[in-house]
Amino acid sequence: MPKLFDLALTVNGTRFEQAVEPRTLLSDFLRHDLGLTGTHVACEHGVCGACTVLLDGEPVRSCLVLAVQAHGHSVTTVEGLGSIEQLHPVQEAFRQAHGVQCGFCTPGILTTVVAFLDDNPDPSEEEIREALSGNLCRCTGYQHIVDAVQLAAKNTKTAHQQPAR
Amino acid sequence: MKPAPFDYCAPTTVEQALALLTEHGDEAKVLAGGQSLVPMMNFRLVQPSVLVDLNPIPDLAYIEPDENGGLRLGAMTRHHQVEVDPMVAERMPLLHEAMPKIAYPQIRSRGTIGGSISHADPSAELAAVSVALNGRFRLRSPKGERWVPAQDFFIGLFTTILQPDELLVEVALPPLPARTGGTLMEVARRSHDFALVGVAAVVSLDGKGACRQTRMVFLSAGDRPMEAHRAADVLAGQIPTPEAIRAAAEIAASDDIDPSSDIHATAEFRRHLAKVLARRALEQACRRAAEMK
Amino acid sequence: MTKTLIGKRVLRNEDPRLLTGQAQFVDDVEIPGLLHAAFLRSDHAHARLLGMDVSTARQRPGVVAVFTAEDMGDDWQPGPPLVSPPPTAKDVLFYSRRQVPLVKDKIRHAGEAMAVVIAESRYIAEDAVEDIVVDLEPLEAVVDLEKALQPGSPLVHDDLESNLAAHLYQKKGDYEAARRQADLVLQRRIVIDRGAAAAMENRGIVAEWDEKSKHLTVWDTTQAPIPIRNGLAARLGLSENQVRVIAPFIGGGFGPKMMMFYAEEMLIPWVAMKLKRPIKWIEDRRENFYATTQERGQIHDVEIALSRDGHILGLKDVFLHDTGAYDPYGLTIPLNTQCHAMGGYDVKNFSSEVSVVFTNKTLVTPVRGAGRPQGIFLIERLLDAAAKELGIDPVEIRRRNLIPPDAFPYEHGIIDQAFAPLILDSGNYWPVMQKALEMIGYEKFVREEQPRYRKEGRYVGIGITPFIESTGVGPYEGARVTVEASGRIYVATGVGTQGQGHFTSFAQVVAEQLGVAVSDVRIVSGDTAEFHWGTGTFASRGAVVAGNAIHAAASIVRRKVLELASKELQTPLDELELEGGMARVADIPDKSISLGELASLANPLRGAVEPGTEPGLEATAYYGPRYGATAFGAHAMILEIDPETMMIEIKRYVTVEDCGTVLNPLILEGQIHGGVSLGIGNAYYEKLHFDENGQLLNASFADYLIPSATEMPRIEVGHMETRSPLNELGTKGVGEAGTIPVPALFSQAVENALADRELEILESPLSPNRLFELWSRKEAR
What's the pLDDT at A158? 79
C127, B5: Cβ pair inside 8 Å?
yes
Smallest CA–CA distance, residue B94 to chain A, in Å, is 20
In a domain, C697, yes or no: yes
* Chain B adjacent subunits, 3+ CB pairs under 8 A: A, C
Q: Which residues of B touch C193 (CB under 8 A)?
A: none
Q: Which residues of chain C have pLDDT under 70?
A: 1-3, 88-90, 779-781
Q: Does A110 touch chain B (CB under 8 A)?
A: no
Smallest CA–CA distance, residue A156 to chain C, in Å, is 18
- CA nearest neighbour of C252 among C26, C519, C76, C450: C26
Q: Does C689 touch chain B (CB under 8 A)?
A: yes
C644, B264: Cβ pair inside 8 Å?
no
What's the pLDDT at C1? 44
Residue range A89-160 forms a domain whose CATH class is: mainly alpha
Residues 46-75 of A with CB under 8 A from C: 47-48, 50
- CATH number, domain of C155, equals 3.90.1170.50
Smallest CA–CA distance, residue A95 to chain C, in Å, is 6
Q: Does A46 touch chain B (CB under 8 A)?
A: yes
B38, A60: Cβ pair inside 8 Å?
no
- Judgement on whether residues C611 and C633 belong to the same structural domain of the protein: no
B8, A68: Cβ pair inside 8 Å?
yes
Interface test with chain B among C287, C645, C696, C712, by most B beta carbons within 10 Å: C645
* Phi/psi of residue C603, nearest 5 degrees: -130, 65
Domain with CATH 3.10.20.30 in chain A: 5-80
Q: Which domain holds residue C74?
A: 35-160
Angle at C768 between CA C634 and CA C755, to 5 degrees: 60
Q: Which residues of C touch A78 (CB under 8 A)?
A: 19-21
A3, B80: Cβ pair inside 8 Å?
no
* Domain final residue pick, C144, C160, C176: C160
C252, A41: Cβ pair inside 8 Å?
no
Give the Cα separation of C480 and C715 in Å (integer): 37
Cβ contacts from A onto C, under 8 A: 187
Q: Which residues of A touch C14 (CB under 8 A)?
A: 103
pLDDT tops 70 at residue A68:
yes
Mean pLDDT across the stretch A42-64?
A: 98
Q: Over chain B, what HEC string results?
A: CCCCCCEEECCCCHHHHHHHHHHHHHHEEEECCCCCHHHHHHCCCCCCCEEEECCCCCCCCCEEECCCCCEEEECCCEHHHHHHCHHHHHHCHHHHHHHHHCCCHHHHHHCEHHHHHHHCCCCCHHHHHHHHCCCEEEEEECCEEEEEEHHHHEEECCEECCCCCCEEEEEEECCCCCCEEEEEEEECCCCCCCCCEEEEEEEEECCCCCEEEEEEEEECCCCCCEECHHHHHHHCCCCCCHHHHHHHHHHHHHHHCCCCCCCCCCHHHHHHHHHHHHHHHHHHHHHHHHHCC
| Residue C397 and residue C195 in contact, taking contact as beta carbons nearer than 8 Å | no
Name the closest residue on chain A to residue C678, using Cα atoms.
A138
Residue range A5-80 forms a domain whose CATH class is: alpha beta
pLDDT tops 50 at residue B19:
yes
Interface test with chain C among A98, A114, A124, by most C beta carbons within 10 Å: A98
Q: What is the pTM of this model?
A: 0.96
Domain with CATH 1.10.150.120 in chain A: 89-160
| Residue C521 and residue C491 in contact, taking contact as beta carbons nearer than 8 Å | yes
Q: Which residues of B touch C775 (CB under 8 A)?
A: none
Angle of helix C429-440 relative to helix C394-401, nearest 10 degrees, comes to 160
Alpha carbon of C360 to those of C95, C268, C283, C291, C330: distances in Å? 16, 25, 21, 13, 18
Q: What is the CATH number of domain B63-173?
A: 3.30.465.10
- Judgement on whether residues C491 and C607 belong to the same structural domain of the protein: yes
- Characterize C145-179 residue by residue with b for buried, 16 or more Cβ atoms within 10 angstroms of its Cβ, and e for exposed: beebbeeebebbbeeeebbbbbbbbbbbeebeebb
| Residue C395 and residue C466 in contact, taking contact as beta carbons nearer than 8 Å | no
Measure CB to CB from residue B276 to each of C286, C645, C773 and give the nearest one.
Answer: C645
What's the pLDDT at A138? 97
What ipTM, to 2 d.p.? Answer: 0.96
C705, B189: Cβ pair inside 8 Å?
yes
A61, B110: Cβ pair inside 8 Å?
yes
- CA nearest neighbour of C548 among C467, C665, C660: C660
- CATH number, domain of C584, equals 3.30.365.10
Q: Which residues of A touch C669 (CB under 8 A)?
A: 98, 143-144
The total domain count for chain C is 3
Smallest CA–CA distance, residue C643 to chain B, in Å, is 10
Which overall architecture, per CATH, does domain B7-53 show? 2-Layer Sandwich (3.30)
Residues 6+ apart with CB under 8 A from C690: C143, C194, C361, C696, C697
Cβ-based neighbour number of residue C560 at 10 Å: 21
- Judgement on whether residues C579 and C719 belong to the same structural domain of the protein: no
DSSP one-letter code for C304: E
C126, B2: Cβ pair inside 8 Å?
yes
- Judgement on whether residues C449 and C492 belong to the same structural domain of the protein: no
Give the Cα separation of C357 and C325 in Å (integer): 9
- Judgement on whether residues C479 and C490 belong to the same structural domain of the protein: yes
Smallest CA–CA distance, residue C123 to chain B, in Å, is 6
Measure CB to CB from residue A44 to each of B1, B8, B191 and give the nearest one.
Answer: B1
Q: Does A102 touch chain C (CB under 8 A)?
A: yes
- Judgement on whether residues C598 and C668 belong to the same structural domain of the protein: no
pLDDT in tens, C618-652: 999 999 988 889 999 999 999 999 999 999 999 99
A55, B43: Cβ pair inside 8 Å?
no
Cβ-based neighbour number of residue B53 at 10 Å: 21
In a domain, C122, yes or no: yes
Residues 6+ apart with CB under 8 A from A164: none
Alpha carbon of C582 to those of C407, C504, C510, C565, C778: distances in Å? 45, 21, 14, 9, 72
- CA nearest neighbour of B122 among B171, B194, B70: B194
pLDDT in tens, B28-80: 999 999 999 999 999 999 999 999 999 999 999 999 999 999 999 999 999 99
In a domain, C507, yes or no: yes
Name the closest residue on chain A to residue B194, using Cα atoms.
A47
- Judgement on whether residues C723 and C778 belong to the same structural domain of the protein: yes
B44, C689: Cβ pair inside 8 Å?
no
Every domain of chain B and the residues it spans: 7-53, 63-173, 180-287
DSSP one-letter code for C321: E
Q: Which residues of C touch B264 (CB under 8 A)?
A: 703, 767, 769
pLDDT tops 70 at residue B293:
no
A84, C17: Cβ pair inside 8 Å?
yes
* Domain final residue pick, C108, C125, C160: C160
A22, B6: Cβ pair inside 8 Å?
yes
Fold assignment, B180-287:
Enolase-like; domain 1 (3.30.390)
C697, B189: Cβ pair inside 8 Å?
no
- Judgement on whether residues C457 and C546 belong to the same structural domain of the protein: no
Give me the sheet containing C133-138, strands edge to edge: C106-107, C47-53, C133-138
- Judgement on whether residues C482 and C587 belong to the same structural domain of the protein: yes
The one-letter amino acid at B232: A
What's the pLDDT at B265? 97
Name the closest residue on chain B to residue C644, using Cα atoms.
B276
Angle of helix C547-569 relative to helix C502-514, nearest 10 degrees, comes to 30
- Judgement on whether residues C105 and C42 belong to the same structural domain of the protein: yes
What three-state secondary structure class fits A49? coil
A87, C251: Cβ pair inside 8 Å?
no
- Judgement on whether residues C491 and C558 belong to the same structural domain of the protein: yes
* Phi/psi of residue C39, nearest 5 degrees: -105, 140
B192, A134: Cβ pair inside 8 Å?
yes
Q: Which residues of B touch A5 (CB under 8 A)?
A: 8
Q: Which residues of C touch B189 (CB under 8 A)?
A: 685, 705, 767-768
Q: Which residues of C touch A36 (CB under 8 A)?
A: 21
Q: Does B35 touch chain A (CB under 8 A)?
A: yes
In whole numbers, what is the pLDDT of chain A averaged over residues?
95
* Chain A adjacent subunits, 3+ CB pairs under 8 A: B, C
E strands in C685-779: 715-720, 763-764
A61, B2: Cβ pair inside 8 Å?
no
- Judgement on whether residues C610 and C558 belong to the same structural domain of the protein: yes
Give the Cα separation of C485 and C325 in Å (integer): 53
B106, A2: Cβ pair inside 8 Å?
no
What's the pLDDT at C89? 63
Give the Cα separation of C435 and B252 in Å (integer): 50
Q: How many helices (H) and strands (E) does chain A have?
A: 5, 5
In a domain, C410, yes or no: no
Give the Cα separation of C761 and A123 in Å (integer): 39
E strands in C609-733: 618-623, 630-641, 648-658, 715-720
